[in-house]
């Protein structure tokens, strides 16, 4: 939790998502000064698409306020291994060829743990298929960093 005094001096950014009436795509523009908002939108549209339609109505799709408070970065904890990461083997298809690959539990891969493709790394929320020509390792904060071998 932050003390109330930590929130005393946020910076604010006002933004608006606008589009010409009848269009499907919006452009985000700064909305600090409402009087200059139409001209700011016309200019942004011209930069992006090469033309402006000043006689066309403008739809306001979203308006938002972003408040930012700067503070100290939270500490990052070193990733630790919790036993064997091997979770069996499974068949996987790479470019039309079926291979028997190792299945690894991401939660058990600590800092410095190597991963060599082909492999499957199972995360609690996702699955990472490591191609045969890729390899990598878990960094100090637990990120799986893969590179083409």
Dihedral over alpha carbons 3, 70, 141, 102 (to 10 degrees): 100
What pLDDT score does 144 carry? 93
Helix extents (H) in 11-134: 37-49
Which residue would you say has higher pLDDT here, 28 or 83?
Answer: 28
Q: How many CB atoms lie within 10 A of CB 121?
A: 23
CA atoms within 13 A on the CB side of 17: 9
pLDDT of 38 strictly over 70: yes
pLDDT tens-digit map of 56-114: 999 999 999 999 988 887 787 776 766 678 889 999 999 999 999 999 999 889 888 99
What pLDDT score does 7 carry? 66
d(CA 9, CA 19): 33
Q: What is the mean pLDDT of residues 123-149?
A: 93
Tokens found for residue 106:
């991401």
* CB-based contacts of 86, cutoff 8 Å, min separation 6: 102, 103, 104, 105
What pLDDT score does 142 carry? 85
């Amino acid at each position: 939790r932050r003390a109330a005094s930590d929130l005393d001096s946020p910076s604010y950014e006002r933004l608006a998502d606008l589009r010409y009436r009848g269009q499907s795509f919006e452009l985000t523009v700064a909305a600090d000064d409402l009087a200059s908002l139409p001209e700011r939108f016309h200019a942004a549209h011209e930069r992006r698409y090469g033309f402006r339609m000043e006689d066309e109505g403008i739809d306001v799709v979203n308006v938002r306020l972003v408040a930012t408070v700067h503070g100290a970065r939270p500490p990052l904890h070193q990733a630790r291994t919790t036993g064997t990461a091997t979770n069996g083997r499974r068949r996987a298809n790479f470019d039309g060829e079926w291979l028997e690959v190792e299945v690894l539990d991401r939660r058990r891969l600590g800092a410095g743990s190597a991963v060599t493709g082909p492999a499957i790394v199972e995360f609690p929320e996702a699955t990472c298929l490591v191609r045969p020509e890729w390899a990598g390792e878990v960094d100090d904060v637990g990120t799986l960093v893969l590179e083409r071998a």
